[in-house]
Structure 1
Amino acid sequence: MENKEYIASGILELYVYGLLSEAENEEIAMRAKNDPEIQAEIVSIEKSIIALSSSFSPFNSVGNYERIKEKLDLNPSPKVIELEPKRNISHYLGWAAAVILLMGIGFMYNQLTVTTNQVVNAETEKSKIEKELNTLTLENKAIESSLAIIRDTNTTVVALGGQAVAPESYAKVYWNKEAQKVYIDASGLPEPPKGMVYQVWSLKLNPLTPTSIGLLDNFNDNDKRLFPINAIIDAEAFGITLEPAGGSLTPTMEQLYTLGKV
């Protein structure tokens, strides 16, 4: 922070009045030791406070002094001279003004702290929103890309029906040979158990030859249940099995969830 901003913040006044913590006092003392401008400002504040207090201090005029001296000289036997107490309201006003000044500086310092915290919180919130916006932008681009393939008239749609292990299951394959893109709509599949993953197979029927073309990873995190998988050159059917995490070299037929012919 520049010296002008540092001085204008009011923290040096709080230092002079002894209202800061020990750590803050040490920090300002070290800064004043190394910076003549800060040291000069502290001395100036101290002089101002002394001058403010002195300006409101009660005093006796020269006339009062002479009258008291005359009475003492006329009375050989000293007597106590009762003087009427002087009620100088300006004395009390001076201290009240000093207290109000301290309160004002304290309030300004607190407001500065609150404002600084608000700025920091606003920057943090802005950064969070920007990250969320970037994530949404990437997700939208991915959705637009998949929708373009699904809506393409060159895309073949293959319906996969449920099998014995899960008759109520279903899925769809969107296969665009020209664009060499394949998407699986797995919205009809239940969430896989922990440690298991769905594996997609392209099939040649005669003889039956399965080829793995991808895993439906991060199933629970994909709320659209639309998965891009590896492109294929040719297939006569598609099947989806439930396999251990990482997939299998050959399909586990007892865990065949869906199957469909092209």
Structure 2
Amino acid sequence: MNLQEYISSGIIESYVLGLASDEERQEFEQLCGQHPELVQARDAFERQLEQQALSNAIPPPPAIKAKVWAETGLESETKHSPVVRMGWMKYAVAASLVLLAGSLFWNLNLQKQNQGIQKDLASAREELNSARRSLAAMEADASVLQKPGMKMAALNGMDASPASYATVYWDTTSKDVYLMVNNLPQPPTDKQYQLWAIINGQPVDIGVLSMSQKPLQLYRMRNTQHAQAFAITLETMGGNPVPKGEMYVMGKL
């Protein structure tokens, strides 16, 4: 056990102010019997509170003091009896404890609020970074679609899913193929969409979809030559060499 870290944790203040839990209080009292340094630190904090209370005391004016001596018939304060702490000091110390407890509570509350603000700030930063990434992806997609020689094929929904829709962009120069998923239902966990190029009436596999992209972002598919149409089917995970599942969308180039 690191005694200095334990002292710095605020346990002494919590114990003296009565803010410690029963478990913390019992542990502290047990450790005080083992470590004199803890007792010294506790006593020092109690003295500090007492001195703070004394420093806030306001002495009476000299005229009032003289009147008190005259009316009571007591000798002047030049002859002192042994100093005895009066009851008011207990109240002053108690008031100081209340003020200090309130100060500690306020600081803890501010600390919690600050932690909440930091968490909200981190979340806002992540949202901003995500928006920047999405914007960068959209700008990259826009630059692809603006290339000269880019042809588009609208893939409309078939009987399996009439509301489905996708768009294929084919670069006639580089033969690159890009797919934009406008509306496709989320596939089952053991299924995956697969894109086919229809060449001379035969389907040619040009890639499966991970469905990881956000809507209206482009998937880069495999190159193809002389495609007349494109289609998407729902296949087993990993795809098939020939289409076996239902066709969801199809469109001519």
With the length of structure 1 as denominator, give the TM-score of the two structures.
0.65
Cα separation, 2, equivalents of 1:134 and 1:27: 47
Call closer, same or farther: CA 1:139–1:180 in 2, change over 3 Å: farther
Task: Name the counterpart of 1:46.
Answer: 46
Task: Name the counterpart of 1:229.
Answer: 220
> Is there any run of 5+ residues in structure 1 with no aligned partner, and where?
56-60, 65-89
Q: Does structure 1 residue 260 correspond to structure 2 residue 233? A: no
Task: Name the counterpart of 1:242.
Answer: 234
Could you list the per-position Cα deviations for residues 99-124 of structure 1 after superposition, in whole angstroms to 9, with x for gaps in the alignment?
A: 21111111111112112212222222
Cα separation, 2, equivalents of 1:28 and 1:227: 67
Name the amino acid aligned to 1:114. N
Cα separation, 2, equivalents of 1:46 and 1:113: 21
Deviation, structure 1 residue 92: 4.9
Paired residues of 2:165 and 2:249 also in contact (CA < 8 A)? yes
Name the amino acid aligned to 1:209. Q
Could you list the per-position Cα deviations for residues 11-63 of structure 1 after superposition, in whole angstroms to 9, with x for gaps in the alignment?
A: 64443354423554546986998796x7655333334567769x9xxxxx9x8
Call closer, same or farther: CA 1:248–1:24 in 2, change over 3 Å: same
- 2:100 is aligned, of 88, 100, 105, to 105
Name the amino acid aligned to 2:44. S
Q: Does structure 1 residue 198 correspond to structure 2 residue 193? A: yes
3-state DSSP class of the match of 1:186? strand
> Is there any run of 5+ residues in structure 2 with no aligned partner, and where?
58-68, 75-84
3-state DSSP class of the match of 1:249? coil
Deviation, structure 1 residue 239: 1.5
Task: Name the counterpart of 1:171.
Answer: 166
Paired residues of 1:162 and 1:168 also in contact (CA < 8 A)? yes
Name the amino acid aligned to 1:234. Q
Call closer, same or farther: CA 1:27–1:100 in 2, change over 3 Å: same
Cα separation, 2, equivalents of 1:49 and 1:32: 23
Cα separation, 1, equivalents of 2:166 and 2:46: 81
- Percent identity, please: 24
Q: Which has the higher helix share?
A: 1
Call closer, same or farther: CA 1:46–1:173 in 2, change over 3 Å: closer
Deviation, structure 1 residue 141: 1.6
Task: Name the counterpart of 1:76.
Answer: none
Deviation, structure 1 residue 126: 2.3
Cα separation, 2, equivalents of 1:100 and 1:180: 83
Cα separation, 1, equivalents of 2:218 and 2:97: 66
With the length of structure 2 as denominator, give the TM-score of the two structures.
0.67
**C-alpha root-mean-square deviation of aligned residues, in Å?**
3.9
Cα separation, 1, equivalents of 2:101 and 2:207: 66
Q: Write out aligned runs for 1:12-27 (5 A).
A: 12-25=12-25, 26=27
Could you list the per-position Cα deviations for residues 191-229 of structure 1 after superposition, in whole angstroms to 9, with x for gaps in the alignment?
A: 145243321011221xx43221122322xx655243413
Could you list the per-position Cα deviations for residues 119-142 of structure 1 after superposition, in whole angstroms to 9, with x for gaps in the alignment?
A: 222222222222222222222221
Total equivalences in the alignment: 219
Call closer, same or farther: CA 1:223–1:128 in 2, change over 3 Å: same
Deviation, structure 1 residue 184: 1.6
Paired residues of 2:213 and 2:219 also in contact (CA < 8 A)? no
Q: Does structure 1 residue 95 correspond to structure 2 residue 86? A: no
